[in-house]
Protein backbone atom coordinates (compact mmCIF):
# COMPACT_ATOMS: atom_id res chain seq x y z
CA UNK A 1 0.00 0.00 0.00
CA UNK A 2 1.23 3.48 -0.90
CA UNK A 3 -0.13 6.70 0.62
CA UNK A 4 0.58 10.29 -0.45
CA UNK A 5 0.89 12.89 2.32
CA UNK A 6 0.47 16.45 1.07
CA UNK A 7 0.94 19.70 2.95
CA UNK A 8 0.04 23.08 1.52
CA UNK A 9 0.99 26.70 2.09
CA UNK A 10 2.88 27.72 5.23
CA UNK A 11 3.14 24.19 6.61
CA UNK A 12 6.85 24.32 5.84
CA UNK A 13 6.93 26.86 8.72
CA UNK A 14 5.70 24.44 11.38
CA UNK A 15 7.80 24.97 14.49
CA UNK A 16 8.04 28.69 13.68
CA UNK A 17 4.33 29.49 13.50
CA UNK A 18 2.14 30.25 16.51
CA UNK A 19 2.85 27.39 18.95
CA UNK A 20 -0.52 27.93 20.66
CA UNK A 21 -2.25 26.96 17.41
CA UNK A 22 0.18 24.64 15.62
CA UNK A 23 2.40 23.23 18.37
CA UNK A 24 6.19 23.35 18.39
CA UNK A 25 6.95 20.45 16.03
CA UNK A 26 8.46 20.98 12.60
CA UNK A 27 7.36 19.55 9.26
CA UNK A 28 10.42 17.29 9.38
CA UNK A 29 9.37 15.96 12.81
CA UNK A 30 5.83 15.41 11.53
CA UNK A 31 7.09 13.43 8.53
CA UNK A 32 9.32 11.33 10.81
CA UNK A 33 6.31 10.41 12.99
CA UNK A 34 4.23 9.47 9.95
CA UNK A 35 7.09 7.49 8.41
CA UNK A 36 7.65 5.54 11.65
CA UNK A 37 3.97 4.57 11.83
CA UNK A 38 3.92 3.71 8.13
CA UNK A 39 6.84 1.32 8.64
CA UNK A 40 4.95 -0.37 11.50
CA UNK A 41 1.98 -0.79 9.16
CA UNK A 42 4.12 -1.99 6.22
CA UNK A 43 3.01 0.99 4.15
CA UNK A 44 5.07 3.33 2.00
CA UNK A 45 4.44 7.06 2.11
CA UNK A 46 5.49 9.86 -0.20
CA UNK A 47 5.58 13.37 1.24
CA UNK A 48 5.14 16.66 -0.58
CA UNK A 49 4.83 20.24 0.61
CA UNK A 50 4.36 23.33 -1.50
CA UNK A 51 3.20 26.88 -1.05
CA UNK A 52 1.87 26.86 -4.64
CA UNK A 53 -1.47 25.34 -5.62
CA UNK A 54 -0.26 24.43 -9.11
CA UNK A 55 2.67 22.45 -7.70
CA UNK A 56 0.32 20.50 -5.42
CA UNK A 57 -1.96 19.77 -8.39
CA UNK A 58 1.01 18.55 -10.42
CA UNK A 59 2.01 16.25 -7.55
CA UNK A 60 -1.48 14.73 -7.38
CA UNK A 61 -1.69 14.24 -11.13
CA UNK A 62 1.78 12.70 -11.36
CA UNK A 63 1.31 10.30 -8.43
CA UNK A 64 -2.38 9.41 -8.10
CA UNK A 65 -2.20 6.40 -10.41
CA UNK A 66 0.38 4.78 -8.13
CA UNK A 67 -1.17 5.39 -4.73
CA UNK A 68 -3.95 3.92 -2.62
CA UNK A 69 -4.97 7.06 -0.75
CA UNK A 70 -4.09 10.67 -0.03
CA UNK A 71 -3.77 12.53 3.26
CA UNK A 72 -4.00 16.25 2.61
CA UNK A 73 -3.59 19.34 4.74
CA UNK A 74 -4.13 22.03 2.14
CA UNK A 75 -3.59 24.88 4.60
CA UNK A 76 -5.41 28.01 3.47
CA UNK A 77 -6.14 26.37 0.09
CA UNK A 78 -8.71 24.33 2.02
CA UNK A 79 -11.01 27.33 1.88
CA UNK A 80 -10.70 28.39 -1.77
CA UNK A 81 -8.51 25.91 -3.70
CA UNK A 82 -11.10 24.64 -6.16
CA UNK A 83 -8.49 23.54 -8.70
CA UNK A 84 -6.73 21.45 -6.03
CA UNK A 85 -10.09 20.07 -4.94
CA UNK A 86 -10.83 18.97 -8.51
CA UNK A 87 -7.40 17.33 -8.89
CA UNK A 88 -7.96 15.40 -5.65
CA UNK A 89 -11.42 14.35 -6.79
CA UNK A 90 -10.02 13.18 -10.14
CA UNK A 91 -7.37 11.09 -8.35
CA UNK A 92 -9.95 8.36 -7.79
CA UNK A 93 -8.55 7.26 -4.41
CA UNK A 94 -9.75 7.85 -0.84
CA UNK A 95 -8.83 11.29 0.50
CA UNK A 96 -8.62 12.24 4.16
CA UNK A 97 -8.41 15.95 4.94
CA UNK A 98 -6.33 16.81 8.02
CA UNK A 99 -5.86 20.04 9.95
CA UNK A 100 -3.53 20.45 12.92
CA UNK A 101 -5.73 23.09 14.53
CA UNK A 102 -9.50 22.97 14.91
CA UNK A 103 -10.52 25.08 11.93
CA UNK A 104 -14.06 25.38 13.36
CA UNK A 105 -12.77 27.04 16.54
CA UNK A 106 -10.89 29.71 14.61
CA UNK A 107 -11.87 32.62 12.35
CA UNK A 108 -15.18 32.14 10.57
CA UNK A 109 -13.59 32.16 7.10
CA UNK A 110 -11.68 29.00 8.08
CA UNK A 111 -14.89 27.07 8.73
CA UNK A 112 -15.50 26.34 5.04
CA UNK A 113 -13.65 23.54 3.29
CA UNK A 114 -13.94 23.03 -0.46
CA UNK A 115 -12.20 19.65 -0.02
CA UNK A 116 -14.49 18.13 2.62
CA UNK A 117 -17.23 17.20 0.15
CA UNK A 118 -14.90 14.91 -1.83
CA UNK A 119 -13.01 13.54 1.18
CA UNK A 120 -13.70 10.24 2.87
CA UNK A 121 -13.31 12.10 6.15
CA UNK A 122 -11.88 15.13 7.88
CA UNK A 123 -9.70 15.18 11.00
CA UNK A 124 -9.29 18.58 12.60
CA UNK A 125 -7.79 19.82 15.85
CA UNK A 126 -5.84 16.72 16.89
CA UNK A 127 -2.40 18.15 16.16
CA UNK A 128 0.18 15.96 14.43
CA UNK A 129 -1.65 12.85 15.65
CA UNK A 130 -4.43 13.59 13.18
CA UNK A 131 -2.10 12.50 10.39
CA UNK A 132 -1.50 9.16 12.13
CA UNK A 133 -5.24 8.63 12.54
CA UNK A 134 -5.71 9.36 8.85
CA UNK A 135 -2.96 6.92 7.88
CA UNK A 136 -4.37 4.18 10.10
CA UNK A 137 -7.86 4.70 8.74
CA UNK A 138 -6.72 4.42 5.13
CA UNK A 139 -4.71 1.28 5.89
CA UNK A 140 -7.33 -0.44 8.02
CA UNK A 141 -10.29 0.47 5.83
CA UNK A 142 -8.59 -0.54 2.61
CA UNK A 143 -7.27 -3.83 3.99
CA UNK A 144 -10.17 -4.55 6.38
CA UNK A 145 -7.71 -4.85 9.28
CA UNK A 146 -8.39 -3.90 12.87
CA UNK A 147 -6.26 -2.88 15.79
CA UNK A 148 -5.88 -5.54 18.44
CA UNK A 149 -3.99 -8.58 19.53
CA UNK A 150 -2.54 -10.60 16.65
CA UNK A 151 -3.54 -7.84 14.30
CA UNK A 152 -1.83 -4.68 13.15
Which residues are catalytic, by number? 22, 99
Query: Could you give the CA distance from residue 22 to residue 111 in angstroms, rounded to a whole number?
Result: 17
Instruction: Assess contact for 49 and 73: CB atoms under 8 A.
Output: no
Amino acid sequence: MHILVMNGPNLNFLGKRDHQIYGNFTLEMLCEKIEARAIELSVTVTFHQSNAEGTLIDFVQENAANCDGIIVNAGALTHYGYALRDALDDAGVPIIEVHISNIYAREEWRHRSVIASIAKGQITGLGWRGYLHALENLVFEESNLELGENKI
